Amino acid sequence: MSDLTHSTAAELAAKIHAGEVSSVEVTRAHLDRIGAIDETVHAFLHVDTDGALAAAQRVDDDVAAGRPVASPLAGVPLALKDVFATEGIPTTCGSKILENWIPPYDSTVARKLRDAGVVVLGKTNMDEFAMGSSTENSAYGVTRNPWDLDRIPGGSGGGSSASLAAFQAPLAIGTDTGGSIRQPASVTGTVGVKPTYGGVSRYGLVAFSSSLDQGGPCARTVLDAALLHEVIGGHDPLDSTSIDAPVPPVVAAAREGAAGDLRGLRVGVVREFTGEWYQDGVIAAFDQAVEALRGLGAEVVEVSCPHFDYALPAYYLIAPSECSSNLARFDAMRYGLRVGDENGNSAEQVMALTREAGFGAEVKRRVMVGTYALSSGYYDAYYGQAQKVRTLISRDFERAFGDVDVLVSPTTPTTAFRIGERVDDPVAMYRADLCTIPANLAGTPAMSVPAGLSDDDGLPVGLQVMAPALQEQRMYKVAAAYEAARDKAWGGPLINRVPELEVAAR
């Protein structure tokens, strides 16, 4: 076990900026860790060794010359979900249709990371075009959960969450359309944040569902997530959906919350997030987390959000409808895979052959569902009705936040399920996002913080904290206070209980 790979991002940054350790040393330690165990975990699709070491050297040069570092996270390594365009580095979205595609530009998130001196180690595995809850839908193989290699690491951002839990990176970036940051965080015992919709630029983020997609920070601690949030957040004129408002003071809130005082704060427990789909161990861990919040001085009340029960079916009409439109751009004519043009086929035939060969089963399923929902005679009955439900869910949030400061719930109904367990049952797979989808539909921020281990199977459980739009500081404060109390009760960070993975022979 290396101190460099098992330290927090904040700890590493402090040592790098003080000259106690070099960014190159830290980066090499993480690259070595990836080389030793990623054949087993398969968190990464591409590792940019030369680029990472060059970025680390630039930070070390600044420190040696006494120049100010670019940001509080300068020199710290990070794993980037392979749905963000990265100039000169492959971007596949976990799909064969983009195999070997190298973008000629950076997404805004990638550019902000580079400008901040953050060291991008490489691109992480994901469900194809972010469509999935297990990272089993990647065209490039399954990612495994470091807590139990026979189980999923969540999805669609399973590669990012697994890289954190496997100590391959101290920071990661994910995207959250229906829970793809928070659900993987929950099942891997890490922290994942979905900011307010429009709070982090979507420019260069390959779109799945444009009204739902949101990039966000992933980390092993609440403070690390806050530090990363402030690096990637903020207005971007290149994104028409970007909010022209300051990034909420999330780092200050995380530091304040760590003091453990939640007096005067009202926490609402969402009544609808319980029932037959929830494991007993998940509910027990959640109940203990709520009691911990009460012990920190928060007033806890029950809140009803009745339309949350309709979030799942509404989402699975809205998201596929938008993906059927967004994925039409992959037509074999401009970039990416091209199949069948050598046999004199027409453009239409080439397009059909390419999409057949390039898209996986789940992508095809959602494109067909979305195309049907948008078709003549069905638009009002399906897509239109789903949008009305979305409005009702937003109103549920508005009413709830009129009474409480934050809402809490389990992040997921179950712990990590076994690889292959739900691949033939799409509805069971979709239920993994029961608790996360409402925040996407409303555009409000939400995060998952580890809430202990389930008595059922000893696997991580997540506590979801939700806040009003542009009020992320509320949930960071609550999550940091809970994290400090949990670590004290458990005798240290929960993530340190991940089984040590077998290192590959060199």
Q: Which sequence positions are flagged as catalytic? A: 81, 156, 180
Instruction: Give SS3 for 290.
Output: helix
- CA 117 – CA 337 distance, rounded (Å): 33
- CA 10 – CA 226 distance, rounded (Å): 10
Instruction: Give SS3 for 88.
Output: coil
Phi-psi region of 296 (alpha: psi -120 to 50; beta: other; left: phi over 0): alpha
- Residue among 482, 459, 432 at smallest CA distance from 281: 459
- CA 392 – CA 377 distance, rounded (Å): 24
- CA 155 – CA 187 distance, rounded (Å): 10
Instruction: Give SS3 for 80.
Output: strand
- CA 435 – CA 279 distance, rounded (Å): 13
Instruction: Give SS3 for 191.
Output: strand
- CA 344 – CA 341 distance, rounded (Å): 6
- Residue among 167, 172, 158, 166 at smallest CA distance from 232: 172
- CA 386 – CA 357 distance, rounded (Å): 31
**For residue 57, what are the contacts with CB-CB under 8 A and spacing of at least 6?**
23, 24
Tell how strand 171-175 and strand 77-81 pair up: parallel
- Residue among 435, 485, 441 at smallest CA distance from 465: 435
- CA 115 – CA 109 distance, rounded (Å): 10
Residue 175: phi and psi, rounded to 5, are -130, 150
Tell how strand 119-124 and strand 77-81 pair up: parallel
Distances from the Cα of 66 to the Cαs of 16, 26, 118, 264, 350, in angstroms? 12, 19, 18, 44, 57
Amino acid making up residue 356: E
Which residues sit opposite 449 in a β-bridge? 463
- CA 412 – CA 398 distance, rounded (Å): 23
Tell how strand 266-270 and strand 406-410 pair up: parallel
